[in-house]
Structure 1
Amino acid sequence: MRIRLAYKQCGPARYLGHLDVMRAFERAFRRAGLPLVYSRGFNPRPRMVFAAPLPLGFCGGQEYVDVELADTVDLEQLQEALNRTLPAGLEVFKARKVPDVTPALMSILNSARYTACGELSGEAQPERVRDAVAALMARGEVYVERETDKGLKKRDIRLGIRSLQVSVKDRSFMLIMELAAGSGGTVRPDEVLIALSELAGTPLEAVDVWRTALLSREGKVLWEC
């Protein structure tokens, strides 16, 4: 039986790395007595495939994982059992059965939608933030530095910024971004904030960043794929 879980990752769980989240779900399944299917070989691992790692410090409101079970289980009871054993900040809120032939979540992921909220610093004017968004979207290239195994490397993220909207009220701003994600390349919301800060001439630091949707190439949320 293959099931798809939709879960939230927020609060203290926003500081869990992806490997920690994987271990947390594996432990939750074991403690709940749910029959996980394991891979074969020297180091068997549960057949559990996540859609995409959530960047450390960000919240996720629509995260997904596909899991293979050896037996049929009641999905409502499964959800309740997992939520009793998962650490604070991880919560399964939907579960459904998916056909075995359904493509892996990672293979159909194409983009992610984020909401970033923060406060304008110093003497920054709202108009400069709006102008920076327009200027960024009008550019053919937007370079940021990314840490790699070989040190800092410049990378053009412009093609990965699918859409970008901003609203400013008093000293608060909110950015809604749709950014490339998946095997074709990934753009992080903090990289967009860095690029906007340079164009606006003032730091834009988001105090709250949520990943609100994971989308396929057809624009569907992965839950429906």
Structure 2
Amino acid sequence: MGRHNFDATILEGLLSRGDERVGPLILAAFKKGVRLDAWDEHLRQNMPLWDEAFAAAGWDVKGWIFRNWDTEEELPWDGVSLGPAKNFYKREWQKSFEHVLTARCQHSCSHPCGVCNNKVDVYEINSEEFFLGSLQNKTVVRPKVYPESNIPVLYRVVFYFTRAFGGEFTAYLSQVEIFHKAILRSGLPFVYSSGFNPLPRIEFCSAMGLGIPSYEEVASCLLYEDIPQEKVMEVMNSVLPPFFKLTQVMVFPVTTMRKREALSQGVWGGEYRYKFKDAFSRDEFLASQQAAPFVGGESFSSINKSDELNAFTVRLPVSDKKFRAAIEEWSGKKWYEVTDAEKIHTLAKGAIQGWTARDEENWRNDSKNFVKDGTLGGSENEITSFMELYSRIAKVNAELIVKKQALDEHRAEFYKEHPDVLKKHQAEDEAKDRKNNENKN
């Protein structure tokens, strides 16, 4: 049998039943170091701090949370109105004990709740008539229909975006949902997944740590049409909240002749900036045993001290999670009590594996003895930007598209000279289609 976290229940009761005294209480708990209470492991550590804040509040906090409420007394949220009057809620409360259902809202209402008035009313419409009328008035436009598969060329969008000025406190899944809604609102011809619940085919390079601003995150999606890079940036920034902002966009054609690389395939790590607070010494930490694995050695990390007092930048493979853990081990405190942190760049590998024009040529010339090379980019240990890496990938796609066009032209010319071969191949294709349909049925 599952159960809800009891400590979380207390905080939920505080937020849902509290009055104007709750704001100062939350601020007091925050000043004591309370953070990230949505995660059980953090809440377990933070609950003693909450209890201290409760004790210092000057009122019986838990008694207020767990008390019974009378329907006639004034409630903390009486000043918040969504339309229905308080008496309507009282009647609904009583009907729930009597197991009586309330009829649905309709024009001739037998149970007025207070929402309808001279300007707001309930009425029924025919959805088809509404849609056709909207088309005639040009308030709704039928979306263009694209094929779901076997599209020779799509257009890949790779873009940088900032996740700061409040965006750093957005959970990863909420970030995904925000971009889904922005893409839907943009009206641009983005590619969606197939099925009953189509979603934009967008991927993010990495999931950033909560509370750490980032000025260069990487994401990618697909377009059916070649849209100018400037327009993609302008339109997306107009429909995204201000704390998510596209700063650079690349759009290039991709072919079905090769598998598209996932962003995670090319990620090397990131470059971060840390600034220690006055009570802590940057130099002492960098000279400590905890920092030793990140200073030279085989970690591939690199640290540069800034001219600014107590600040430095560091390049770290994969993420900075282990580096923040080292700061906590050295200081005995949470990392955010010791330093401010922000991500400056997301870094890519200089070389990744993928199908190249050279592979295509070698395979067509000698498929039996073919050995895949498939190395894109520079040296194995090179670190570069994602835009540089994907400019190399864009070049490979462009070469393969040209090669595909040349092959199509050669095939058309061959069939023109040998119509009997064309008829034979068409008959074979038709027979294959009939067999596939029979197997499906």
**RMSD, aligned α-carbons:** 2.9
CA 1:2–1:18 in 2, change beyond 3 Å: closer, same or farther?
A: same
Q: Assess, with a 3 A threshold, how the Cα gap between structure 1 residues 89 and 159 changes in structure 2: closer, same or farther.
A: farther
Instruction: Choose 1 or 2 for highest CA Rg.
Output: 2
**Secondary structure of residue in 1 paired with 2:261:** coil
The alignment partner of 2:287 has SS state of helix
Cα–Cα, structure 1 residues 99 and 134, in superposed 2: closer, same or farther, change >3 Å? farther
SS in 2 for 1:120: coil
Cα deviation, residue 98, structure 1: 3.5
Q: Distance in 2 between matches of 1:12 and 1:203?
A: 16
Q: Aligned in 2, Cα 1:119/1:131: closer, same or farther, shift over 3 Å? A: closer
**Aligned pairs for 1:44-193 within 5 A:** 44-100=198-254, 103-121=261-279, 124=280, 126=281, 129-136=282-289, 139=292, 162-167=301-306, 172-181=309-318, 186-188=319-321, 189-193=323-327
- Higher share of residues assigned helix: 2
> Paired residue for 1:37?
191
Query: Please, which runs of 5 or more residues in structure 1 have no aligned partner?
Result: 142-157
> What is the CA–CA distance in structure 2 between the aligned matches of 1:44 and 1:194, rounded to whole Å?
43
Match of 2:369 in 1: none
* Shift of residue 90, structure 1, vs aligned partner: 0.7
Structure 1 pair 61–19 and aligned structure 2 pair: CA distance change class (3 A): same
Q: Deviations over 1:22-55 (max 9, x none)?
A: 1111111111111221223454332111111111
Q: 1:42 to 1:191 in 2, by over 3 A?
A: farther
Q: Deviation per CA, 1:2-31: give whole Å up to 9, x if none.
A: 111111111011111111121111111111
Larger RCO of the pair (alpha carbons < 8 Å, separation 6+): 1
SS in 1 for 2:339: strand
Ranges in structure 2 where 5+ consecutive residues have no aligned partner = 1-154, 350-381, 390-441
Give secondary structure in 2 for the equivalent of 1:106.
Answer: helix
- Residues 30 and 205 (structure 1), Cα distance of their counterparts in 2 relative to 1, 3 Å cut: same
| 1:214/1:118 CA distance change after superposition, 3 Å | same
Aligned-partner Cα distance in 2 for 1:61–1:108: 19
Answering whether residue 356 of structure 2 is matched by residue 222 of structure 1, we say no
CA-CA distance at 1:168 after TM superposition:
7.7
Distance in 1 (alpha carbons) for counterparts of 2:205 and 2:331 = 30
Q: TM-score, normalised by structure 1?
A: 0.74
Task: State yes or no: 1:3 paired with 2:160.
Answer: no
- Equivalenced residue count is 195
CA distance in 1, matches of 2:179, 2:336: 37
Which whole-Å CA distance do the structure 2 matches of 1:140 and 1:192 have between them?
9
Cα-to-partner distance string for 1:156-175 (whole Å, 9 max, x where unaligned): xx965712344586xx5213
Residue 206 (structure 1) aligned with residue 339 (structure 2) = yes
State the distance in 1 between where 2:298 and 2:195 align.
40
Bigger fraction of residues in strand:
1
Counterpart CA distance in 2 for 1:120 and 1:203 is 13
